[in-house]
Amino acid sequence: MSSTVLDIPAACLDLARGCEAAERRDMGTAAALLSGSCLAMVGPILAADPGQSPLIHRVITALRSIGSFEQAEWCCRQVLEHHSDAAVYNTLGSICQYTGRILEGIEYQRRALDLCPDSPELQANLARALLEAGRTDEGILLLRTAVQRMPNHPAAHSNLLFRLHQQADITPEPLFTEHLEWARRHTSTIPVRTDHPNDPDPDRRLRVGYLSPDFRRNSVAYFFESLLDGHDLQAVETFGYANVECPDEVTDRLKDKFCRYRSIYGLDDSAAARLIEDDQIDILVDLAGHVGDNRLLVMARRSAPIQVTYLGYPDTTGMRAIDYRLTDPVADLLRFQCHYTEQLLMLPDGFLCYRPPDFAPDVGPLSAAATGRITFGSFNNSAKINRRTVELWSAILANVPGSSLLLKIKGGDEPSVREYFAEPFIQQGLSADRIRIVGWRSPVDHLASYNQVDIALDTYPYNGTTTTCEALWMGVPVITLSGVDHHLSRVGLSILTRLKLEFFAAATPREYIAKAVSLAQNIDALARIRSSMRARIAVSGLCHARAFARQVEGAYRHIWRQWCAGHRHMRL
């Protein structure tokens, strides 16, 4: 990076102004100040005055917040030329992870931990990187160590709970116990409001609040938008409470669709809870559970008389302050109730509504019809590809001669990443040329990639959701396994049931392998499925936003009337 050299005091002043602009979310001003000749002075500033390191740390944070990752990485390397810095190594590792250089990122985060081996925050960050690389057991062990060292850190503990679902041999009982422990540790001393002043009229318009960190380019927003669009605004008044650090075009679009929209990012839990209370929300719906940047400690204060969790998390929150979990009777059997603190609130026709993207390309012809060879595929998050999944997929390929597996992995265009993710399959006896790995693509190219896939294979035990819907919309049948008595392992079955395609769902690993192998042997059937799948989905309930919203609103009205009846009884 080269530019006209400024004097150091002037450069420091401009850099500080750029940081301030980023912190107040004036991204245009920040981008203008944190560039060119000003940014080129980072090295000279550090050489002249090492005491300016805190300013350069702020600059790196600001550059990341405005999406200038290349410049942030350059600044990190400038700092590291002058001295070793655990925080900067950690940030550099995170940037590498974000930009797809997964293995390089792990190495930088290891260097950070080497410098501060007792830092639970650095342990947690390295653990996340390892999990994204499929090193599930190592990552979870490190996360547990981090949580033990910072027992009063609810976000780190939530991250552990979320990541536990990626284990190969997961069972519901210990998961439930882990969630109860999170709630006991982090919410037991929080004051809970009980005197809600809401008008107990069972038939009035309801004020429904949705609380989420994912009102942005994210799979949760992808499904939630259909519900938001389908709502009858004569029946419900919608409020959005966004804990979004970096808003994007999806944030802007959703913001305009709520009746009222509030950003709670940066507000502490008590202030956020008061804001919701002041809006006199009747039903507050958490869309995050224990995923990153959740606001469960706001929910713990019971800012609304009825609280619900939905969509973003495949499990209980473990919290008594949340009354209901919105789901369906396929994804969550009634007998699963014993593993939830929330009451299961069933949507009889399915808990998801899918909106096919407008930019989806046409369904292409069956690849195998031209090549004579079956291509299996999975575009799921690499963190879901654990050793059990590798064993299942390897067994399928071993039983379908000449077949190959196409995986889409973040960073998959890097040779080292391709080799890394192919190695577990090679250890199962497959040749390297049967595993094809590509990197992430633009949304249009991502969907077009399904035209190279004949049969999609779902991950196990943590099923896909968005990837399953996308594959089906592109005409690709999805073989899924619902072998664990848990929501996370039954989402695929729930989606397929909506389409009357339960045949593609297996109950045991043996059946999963057999179904995939059997389908691969019937090219004509695959061609017929491919040509008819999109029309089947388009007319199904899976894509009817208004009908889905009426179902959700019916569930809201049911629990509201129950509250009103109980409220009147208490007053008597």
CATH number at residue 12: 1.25.40.10
Residues 470, 324 share a domain? no
* Rounded-to-integer distance, Cα 383 and Cα 153, Å: 23
Residues 247, 128 share a domain? no
What is the span of the domain harbouring residue 117? 8-161
Residues 78, 21 share a domain? yes
* Rounded-to-integer distance, Cα 116 and Cα 109, Å: 11
Residues 210, 147 share a domain? no
Residues 523, 390 share a domain? yes
Q: Is the previous residue joined to 461 through a cis bond, with omega within 30 degrees of 0? A: yes
331: helix, coil or strand? Answer: coil
Beta-carbon contacts of residue 562 (< 8 Å; ≥ 6 apart):
none
555: helix, coil or strand? Answer: helix
Residue 175 lies in a domain: no
Residues 136, 21 share a domain? yes
Residues 373, 488 share a domain? yes
* Rounded-to-integer distance, Cα 95 and Cα 108, Å: 10
Residues 129, 220 share a domain? no
Rg (CA), the chain: 25
DSSP assignment of 507-553 equals SSHHHHHHHHHHHHT-HHHHHHHHHHHHHHHHTSGGG-HHHHHHHHH
Residue 360 lies in a domain: no
Residue 187 lies in a domain: no
Inter-CA distances, 349 with 27, 108, 230, 554, Å: 43, 47, 15, 12
Q: Given this model, what pLDDT does residue 342 score?
A: 99
Residue 437 lies in a domain: yes
CATH of the domain at 306: 3.40.50.11380
Q: Given this model, what pLDDT does residue 3 score?
A: 42
Q: What is the side-by-side order of every strand in the sheet holding 283-286?
A: 260-263, 236-242, 206-212, 283-286, 306-310, 324-327, 343-346
Q: Given this model, what pLDDT does residue 570 score?
A: 47
CATH of the domain at 460: 3.40.50.2000
Per the rule left: phi > 0, alpha: psi between -120 and 50, beta: everything else, 74 is: alpha
Give pLDDT tens digits along the chain (572 positions): 544 456 899 999 999 999 999 998 898 999 999 988 888 999 999 999 888 999 999 999 999 989 999 999 999 999 999 999 999 999 999 999 999 899 999 999 999 999 999 898 899 899 999 998 989 999 999 999 999 999 999 999 999 999 999 999 999 999 999 999 999 999 999 999 999 999 999 999 999 999 999 999 999 999 999 999 999 999 999 999 999 988 899 999 999 999 999 999 999 999 999 999 999 999 999 999 999 999 999 999 999 999 999 999 999 999 999 999 999 999 999 999 999 999 999 999 999 999 999 999 999 999 999 999 999 999 999 999 999 999 999 999 999 999 999 999 999 998 999 999 999 999 999 999 999 999 999 999 999 999 999 999 999 999 999 999 999 999 999 999 998 899 999 999 999 999 999 999 999 999 999 999 999 999 999 999 999 999 999 999 999 999 999 999 999 999 999 999 987 544 43
Residues 228, 139 share a domain? no
Q: Given this model, what pLDDT does residue 569 score?
A: 46
Spatial CA neighbour of 88 closest among 67, 73, 70? 73
Spatial CA neighbour of 123 closest among 150, 83, 88? 150
Kindly report the backbone phi and psi dihedral angles of residue 438, in degrees, each rounded to the nearest multiple of 5, phi listed first: -125, 160
DSSP 8-state code for residue 260: E
Residues 213, 123 share a domain? no
Inter-CA distances, 456 with 134, 378, 493, Å: 20, 6, 14
407: helix, coil or strand? Answer: strand
The answer to whether 549 and 231 are in contact (CB under 8 A) is yes
Residue 447 lies in a domain: yes
Looking at 130, 161, 192, which one is the last position of a domain?
161
Kindly report the pTM of this predicted structure.
Answer: 0.92
How many structural domains are present in the chain?
Answer: 3
The answer to whether 110 and 123 are in contact (CB under 8 A) is no
Residues 375, 310 share a domain? no
Q: For CA atoms 262, 268, 269, 271, give the dihedral sign.
A: negative
Residues 387, 331 share a domain? no
